[in-house]
A and B are shown apart, each in its own frame.
Chain A
């Protein structure tokens, strides 16, 4: 009887290893071999350069609206690097860098953002879900996949991504709750980029951190400097190992920043100051990692130059291939396919009617961008 302190564990860590000048805390440096370092760096750089290329393409009207990822490369690559090919990846919509590292092709991304359904095709050996636009909805799918992995005793781990805004949706809370109720092997990566379109984190939640929401579900959680790839990598490694051991889910809050617009249809000048953006640009995850790798002589200026050239070539090839492909795609009759395993008589009729109509070649008109 009486009023006593509840015995609830409410300790949470914040992890940061690499400072803004690219200098690491030696005792915390994760054990990463040269090959993996270079691979992670390659995909971070690819994420950045592809983003820039896509922005140019969008401005030229060669693709539609898309959400840039610049500034969030460490949060994405440092985490997804820990997945095995046999693990599951359940993205949201701002994870292009992570998706590329998982094996999604740039052509596929370009097709998607230019309005081709072929852009969400998943290669047959890939255990990934297509990106999910309805905010937070994919979180529950990750939990279900994790549940199934447990049921099948497959040893697979599931990683899902979402933003700070997503933590306001019921699906987020329901997902965390179910994940811990069923002790599923899920790693929740929250990319807290400080903004959900025009709403800053301070108006999204009254909580001091997002990671503390894990406490409500007695789930392991950690907050990391999301622009520090070593911290993201270390925290995710712990979480993936925990999940693989059968010790349950983890919420990782990567504190990062959306340095670009929400999507190319957005104008951030309406709601945030350029000073704020600049202060975060100074904490750029890519520059920080590059300095670290140069200091360690894992990267050299020559290697960097070669890599950048290689990646740019790769991007240009992908753009060319995608644009060539687009010329062959777009048969309107394809839109009836894959809704069901087989077309119902009614749908067959509708498809036939459209085919007949198109044969008489009536003109149709297009539209303008927005999204």
Chain B
């Protein structure tokens, strides 16, 4: 066990998966000598060489389009898109090809690839470097969407994503990259995709979140415990698509109340889908309307104002109290 940041844990996952399987190839801008702008691929080029850690020209469509071809040929490309705000340049390759190659060929050709991309605000970055648009990908049939919330699960989920037989969008919260350290085992650890976890047990209220917002959800739960004697259960989704609606149903059957938290804009965001699932599965257990704490339906403002856009524990506690009628 070593205490690692999320950057180091992701690096460990990449290194071990590359050691394990020579069909794993990394592609991306500045991932070689530079080690990626966030250093997630640091030193991998030294160990695996430039035929497996491939610095690409500045073209996202080239990266993802080539990855589709490489995957069809049997490789397992893991692409780094420098910031998720630039993944629109490769949108068509995912939507039109990666997501439907298996479907179109009735299972003959498959695209086992991963697109890693940093998302979200909170690090005083320039515009286009702070958006949370995971809903785009989660809305695309044929893609899986994974969003880790810390070093340890990031490592285990990335390893699973690389081994997954289908294309996976792997969203990494920039705000978490170096935010804290966790014990990460050297030995193999996998978390299956499509399975969420209880991050904090509780009985009075369910808070559902993922990614960078998870810490704020837990902070809010602690505050509710200290100030209101309310024990909130916090669910960490980990995978957005396919969505695990079993664990949340079980929790809500116990608590009857729910707050969903994400940084992405509110309308048509993940919380809308989550709320609909809860209505379908657990309607009769609900004792109050579901509350959503999300980004607003605007572009995330330049960083001097971003703290007002990004949800935080204060807003979560506020929504929880409303939901609890206190």
- Contact between B298 and A364 (Cβ–Cβ < 8 Å)? no
| B175 at interface by CB-CB < 8 Å | yes
- Contact between B29 and A197 (Cβ–Cβ < 8 Å)? yes
Classify chain A's interface size: 35 or more
Binary flags per residue of A350-371, CB closer than 8 Å to B gives 1, else 0: 1100100110101111111111
Residues 293-323 (chain B) with a chain A CB within 8 angstroms:
296-299, 301-309, 312, 314-315, 318
Known contacts A168-B57, A363-B314, A369-B123: A197-B304 contact under CB 8 Å:
no
Residues 164-219 (chain A) with a chain B CB within 8 angstroms:
165-166, 168-171, 196-199, 203-205
Known contacts A199-B57, A369-B124: A270-B35 contact under CB 8 Å:
yes
| A86 at interface by CB-CB < 8 Å | no
A371–B130 CA distance with the chains assembled, in angstroms: 9
A171–B92 CA distance with the chains assembled, in angstroms: 14
Contact of A370 among B125, B298, B315 (CB under 8 A): B125
Most A Cβ at <10 Å: residue of B32, B266, B303, B306: B303
| B230 at interface by CB-CB < 8 Å | no
Known contacts A65-B126, A270-B35, A332-B308: A367-B175 contact under CB 8 Å:
yes
- Contact between B34 and A271 (Cβ–Cβ < 8 Å)? yes
Known contacts A134-B86, A362-B315, A365-B312: A336-B306 contact under CB 8 Å:
no
Contact of B266 among A198, A350, A366 (CB under 8 A): A350
| A346 at interface by CB-CB < 8 Å | yes
Known contacts A115-B124, A197-B37: A357-B55 contact under CB 8 Å:
no
| B69 at interface by CB-CB < 8 Å | no
| A347 at interface by CB-CB < 8 Å | yes
Q: Residues of A contacting B267 with CB < 8 Å?
A: 346
Q: Residues of A contacting B85 with CB < 8 Å?
A: 134
- Contact between B55 and A198 (Cβ–Cβ < 8 Å)? yes
Classify chain B's interface size: 35 or more
Q: Residues of B contacting A64 with CB < 8 Å?
A: 124-126, 303
A115–B305 CA distance with the chains assembled, in angstroms: 7
Q: Residues of A contacting B124 with CB < 8 Å?
A: 64-65, 115, 366-371
Q: Residues of A contacting B60 with CB < 8 Å?
A: 169
- Contact between A367 and B121 (Cβ–Cβ < 8 Å)? yes
- Contact between A334 and B126 (Cβ–Cβ < 8 Å)? no
Contact of B55 among A65, A199, A351, A354 (CB under 8 A): A199
| B59 at interface by CB-CB < 8 Å | yes
Min CB–CB distance B23 → chain A (angstroms): 24
- Contact between A265 and B62 (Cβ–Cβ < 8 Å)? no
Min CB–CB distance A322 → chain B (angstroms): 12
| A246 at interface by CB-CB < 8 Å | no
Q: Residues of A contacting B296 with CB < 8 Å?
A: 335-336, 347, 350-351, 354
| A114 at interface by CB-CB < 8 Å | yes
- Contact between A368 and B301 (Cβ–Cβ < 8 Å)? no
Min CB–CB distance B262 → chain A (angstroms): 15
- Contact between B305 and A334 (Cβ–Cβ < 8 Å)? yes
Binary flags per residue of A251-277, CB closer than 8 Å to B gives 1, else 0: 000000000000001100011000000
A366–B307 CA distance with the chains assembled, in angstroms: 6
Q: Residues of A contacting B301 with CB < 8 Å?
A: 117, 332, 335
Total number of residue pairs linking A and B with CB closer than 8 Å: 148
- Contact between B298 and A336 (Cβ–Cβ < 8 Å)? yes
A37–B285 CA distance with the chains assembled, in angstroms: 78
- Contact between A371 and B125 (Cβ–Cβ < 8 Å)? yes
A368–B121 CA distance with the chains assembled, in angstroms: 10
Q: Residues of B contacting A103 with CB < 8 Å?
A: none
Known contacts A197-B29, A199-B57, A362-B315: A332-B34 contact under CB 8 Å:
no
In the complex formed, the residue of A with least CB distance to B294 is A350
| B122 at interface by CB-CB < 8 Å | yes
| A280 at interface by CB-CB < 8 Å | no
Min CB–CB distance B142 → chain A (angstroms): 23
A136–B85 CA distance with the chains assembled, in angstroms: 14
| A24 at interface by CB-CB < 8 Å | no
Q: Residues of A contacting B127 with CB < 8 Å?
A: 133
Min CB–CB distance A355 → chain B (angstroms): 11
Min CB–CB distance B117 → chain A (angstroms): 14
- Contact between B299 and A116 (Cβ–Cβ < 8 Å)? no
Contact of B298 among A116, A165, A347, A369 (CB under 8 A): A347
- Contact between B32 and A198 (Cβ–Cβ < 8 Å)? yes
Known contacts A198-B55, A204-B58, A367-B175: A133-B305 contact under CB 8 Å:
no
| B324 at interface by CB-CB < 8 Å | no
A134–B127 CA distance with the chains assembled, in angstroms: 9
A39–B299 CA distance with the chains assembled, in angstroms: 39
- Contact between B298 and A133 (Cβ–Cβ < 8 Å)? no
Q: Residues of B contacting A368 with CB < 8 Å?
A: 123-124
Min CB–CB distance A31 → chain B (angstroms): 38
Q: Residues of B contacting A116 with CB < 8 Å?
A: 302, 304-305
Min CB–CB distance B229 → chain A (angstroms): 20
Q: Residues of B contacting A363 with CB < 8 Å?
A: 314
Known contacts A350-B266, A363-B314, A368-B124: A196-B304 contact under CB 8 Å:
no
| A112 at interface by CB-CB < 8 Å | yes
A338–B134 CA distance with the chains assembled, in angstroms: 24
Give the 7 A-B residue pairs with the shortest CB-CB distance, closest first.
A115-B303, A332-B308, A362-B314, A198-B34, A168-B57, A115-B304, A165-B58
Further 11 A-B residue pairs, CB within 8 A, beyond A134-B88, A370-B124:
A64-B125, A116-B304, A134-B86, A135-B58, A136-B58, A197-B37, A198-B55, A329-B304, A362-B318, A367-B307, A368-B123
8 A–B contacts from the bound complex (CB under 8 Å): A134-B85, A169-B89, A270-B33, A351-B296, A363-B314, A367-B121, A367-B306, A368-B124
